[in-house]
Amino acid sequence: MIEVSTTPPVLRAENLVKSYTEGGATVEVLRDVSLHIGAGEMVAIVGASGSGKSTLLHLLGLLDTPTSGHVEVDGKRVDGLNESARSRLRNQRLGFVYQFHHLLPEFSAVDNVAMPLIVRRDKRNAAREQAREVLAQVGLEHRMDHYPGQLSGGERQRVALARALVTRPGCVLADEPTGNLDRYTAESMFELLLRVNQEFGTALAIVTHDPALAALAHRQLLIEKGQLADS
């Protein structure tokens, strides 16, 4: 029996199917996937390469649309929204962290973190102040004005996490967030993710191959051949 959250939903997927057509053949990446991520919950999504983990995360993050089924954010279906409305919802309620940090090299740490607020037209000074607060919370108060090229790999991932948190999202979606880090730095990132979940009350949906990170989660969801299975 696959466990379900008992807290109110931040993200819900119902009967998701995602398929592609390649060379005249239909390839089904996800098949009838339903899940519920509750407020303040930490969920690990695990499975072999090619099982559909990242595809599921992209659908939950409104970065792609399902072939059938639907996604709900804060209890509201998103399938009727146009791209502009989807972008606004992503900016307001979801944060993203990837295996590679995707920081803008020409901007300092504080300006990289402030970017989601600036994109939604918050005042620059207020955005930078909020960015400084979040950077301090992830332990980078002494590195705020450094550029990505001046930071270590672990520090760059902390900046990326701060950028995901700066809008105070309901859920952060993380795709292999420690996959590009050495073991010591990965363990430090594990501890930070756990603290973020506890102190910010932010739900986390983490795609990972790392059993140590998955073991921290409240629940583990196993994907096999595009379907959820018992973990």
pLDDT digits (tens, 9 = 90+) for 61-117: 998 899 999 999 988 899 888 888 888 888 888 988 887 778 899 999 999 999 999
Query: Which residue has better confidence, 35 or 180?
Result: 35
Residue 7: per-residue pLDDT: 61
Mean pLDDT of 120-126: 88
Mean pLDDT of 167-194: 84
Query: Which residue has better confidence, 183 or 14?
Result: 14
Q: With bands split at pLDDT 50, 70 and 90, how would you rate the model's confidence at 24?
A: confident
Determine the CATH number of domain 9-229: 3.40.50.300
Residue 125: per-residue pLDDT: 92
Residue 198: per-residue pLDDT: 85
Q: At what angle do helices 153-165 and 124-137 cross, to 10 degrees?
A: 120
Mean pLDDT of 188-217: 86
Residue 2: per-residue pLDDT: 45
Residue 1: per-residue pLDDT: 38
pTM attached to this predicted model: 0.85
**Segments making up each domain of the chain, as ranges:** 9-229
Q: With bands split at pLDDT 50, 70 and 90, how would you rate the model's confidence at 12?
A: very high
Q: What mean pLDDT value characterizes the chain?
A: 87
**Pairing state of beta strands 25-38 and 171-175?**
unpaired
Helices (H), 30-150: 53-60, 83-93, 109-119, 124-137
What separation in angstroms does the CA of 184 have from each of 155, 188, 196, 226? 13, 6, 19, 32
Percent of the chain past pLDDT 70, that is, above it, reads 96
191-214: string of b/e by CB count within 10 Å (b at 16+)?
ebbeebbeebebbbbbbbebeebb
